[in-house]
Structure 1
């Protein structure tokens, strides 16, 4: 089997030491410009490709980071991942994106895989309580940052939004627009984001002297929203909510599709507001009101925190960054 050119071949052609070639590949700022140019020219002439697997075995870690999200089909997580990937690329690391699909077994399996692959760090939106597992991985040299989830421990960095404030703003808008039978659609409540958004909505509804009807879902996917929409459509009008706050835009768009198909007028009969403000929200047949999160910025800041800990473990200070969400009013909710 033919092998490609080696580091020794590059060193010989560039007339430098093997150590100099290694520095050009890993620490180019430590090499003089003249030697760096000679090494880079030799690499190009020989077609040299570094053996990343061998380097990983020697160092005990790879030049890669992993990201584990709840639902890769949700555009919110796609945008978050894009922000994180840009930062990883700027640090010359590969980026591995994994999808737990809101499944505890898959979540654990991917954490196992990341550890086996010797990733240098992990970005994660947890589905279950994995803090103890993450602490164990951190003790073995793999730091992590929680994404779209406030860390309950000062031992971790996290980047999230104030979900309680977002839920409160959504419900206050619906009430100000005339809602008297508001409802919340979302789940499972074991997800911190869902329980916090519900808590904010409940506080606003209770303050107005109203009752918040709840339709719990096992996940936050589009099909569940459509199923709940069908269920609401079958209710007698006196029992039917006149406004719905959905825990994310996927659910809200499913509700909107169901109501449109069954002839329920939005927002005249039922107002809808979602959460995340994904691109599809503004492009739906009836533009969807939503609570906006800075999606790519969340990914960027999380990755920046991760690389700060990877590159400066002794001096790194854990931070819990919380963004303020923004209410975006469109045609799916009555104007206040």
Structure 2
């Protein structure tokens, strides 16, 4: 049988109201009484029922965060940044993984609503934001993360992915590469489409340059390896001389395919740039050039926007970060040998 507040009160020789004050307003109770109640709590193994307390208060101390792939180190860093800012405010983050599935996303959001969370951080699984907007209209603040919204009730914190794609392709073009390939997908993912758009703009500005689009069903290491193995099978003159991968996981998979006895040298035969600058990028078999996104800052700023909305503070509702190109061995100039 679970130990309740009445059991603690009886063991400490105080009233139920005194136990409640020790748990919620210890400044109203003498130090000796607080110590006696805490001793009883430890002896009995009492765990407070936060769910019941939150129902009475009408709100919890939690923020909901839904991301498309918690296995991606980028989103793990976003979650870490969100937790850091929430902890500063005495709050916790409840994490949901949508797998880019709208139904799973909806299930997480409904659960968060039942838990009376204070607000929602969300990387949406689709462009249809109508259902999400209803949360904001119902008094639950929502901030989109890694996704920009130009109008409406929703706040957002994002990165300029079009500029990121332009940075990556421009760097490869400046290194003398002319047969570029973009590996990513599906293009229904907003960030993938924006990165491709930026790369296309950069390539269009160089008359002799071309950009091949190699679309994959997901942004994983395995999909990158599959794309790399297909390129290995091509005749040398049909291969690109540079690849821009839509994220670092794809890029790591491509590097694996090129490195396992294929005869393809990176960067001499194929230069490469990834996206996100996860920790693995610098530690890859060939250190990977990558477009850096401030992942932790995205999570931290998303929670900060939520807290400002909860406090009724007037603030910028949309924050946009600029990406940064980090150049490493995978895209350096060709060797003379």
TM-score, structure 1 as length reference? 0.89
Greater Cα offset, 108-117 or 193-202: 108-117
What's the counterpart of residue 248 of structure 2? 249
What's the counterpart of residue 3 of structure 1? 3
* Partner SS state of residue 109, structure 1: helix
Determine the C-alpha separation between the residues in 2 that align with 1:40 and 1:156: 44
What's the counterpart of residue 233 of structure 1? 232
- Cα 1:182–1:40 change in 2 (3 A) is farther
Please say if residues 228 and 257 of structure 2, whose CA atoms lie closer than 8 Å, have aligned partners that are also in contact: yes
What's the counterpart of residue 275 of structure 2? 275
Does 1:62 pair with 2:63?
Answer: no
How far apart are 1:109 and its partner, in Å? 2.0
Determine the C-alpha separation between the residues in 2 that align with 1:79 and 1:91: 19
Please say if residues 155 and 318 of structure 1, whose CA atoms lie closer than 8 Å, have aligned partners that are also in contact: no
How far apart are 1:263 and its partner, in Å? 2.5
| Equivalent residues in 2 for 1:1-336, closer than 5 Å | 1=1, 3-6=3-6, 9=9, 13=14, 20-21=21-22, 24=25, 35=29, 37=31, 40-47=34-41, 49-209=47-207, 210-261=209-260, 262-310=262-310, 312=311, 314-335=312-333
Q: Deviations over 1:12-46 (max 9, x none)?
A: 74998688557527xxxxx57xx485675354223
How far apart are 1:98 and its partner, in Å? 1.2
* Partner SS state of residue 210, structure 2: coil
Please say if residues 136 and 154 of structure 2, whose CA atoms lie closer than 8 Å, have aligned partners that are also in contact: no
Greater Cα offset, 257-266 or 133-142: 133-142
- Cα 1:82–1:40 change in 2 (3 A) is farther
Determine the C-alpha separation between the residues in 1 that align with 2:30 and 2:257: 62
Please say if residues 182 and 213 of structure 1, whose CA atoms lie closer than 8 Å, have aligned partners that are also in contact: yes
Structure 1 unaligned spans of 5+: 26-30
How far apart are 1:318 and its partner, in Å? 5.0
How far apart are 1:235 and its partner, in Å? 1.9
- Cα 1:54–1:320 change in 2 (3 A) is same
- Cα 1:199–1:36 change in 2 (3 A) is farther
How far apart are 1:334 and its partner, in Å? 2.4
How far apart are 1:196 and its partner, in Å? 1.0
Determine the C-alpha separation between the residues in 2 that align with 1:240 and 1:292: 27
How far apart are 1:301 and its partner, in Å? 0.8
What's the counterpart of residue 28 of structure 1? none
How far apart are 1:68 and its partner, in Å? 0.7
- Cα 1:36–1:320 change in 2 (3 A) is farther
- Cα 1:37–1:162 change in 2 (3 A) is farther
Q: Deviations over 1:239-280 (max 9, x none)?
A: 211101011101111111111122211111101100100000
Please say if residues 68 and 123 of structure 2, whose CA atoms lie closer than 8 Å, have aligned partners that are also in contact: yes
Determine the C-alpha separation between the residues in 2 that align with 1:179 and 1:36: 74
Determine the C-alpha separation between the residues in 1 that align with 2:148 and 2:140: 19
- Cα 1:6–1:305 change in 2 (3 A) is farther
Q: How many residues align?
A: 327
How far apart are 1:297 and its partner, in Å? 1.3
Determine the C-alpha separation between the residues in 2 that align with 1:95 and 1:109: 17
- Cα 1:3–1:130 change in 2 (3 A) is farther
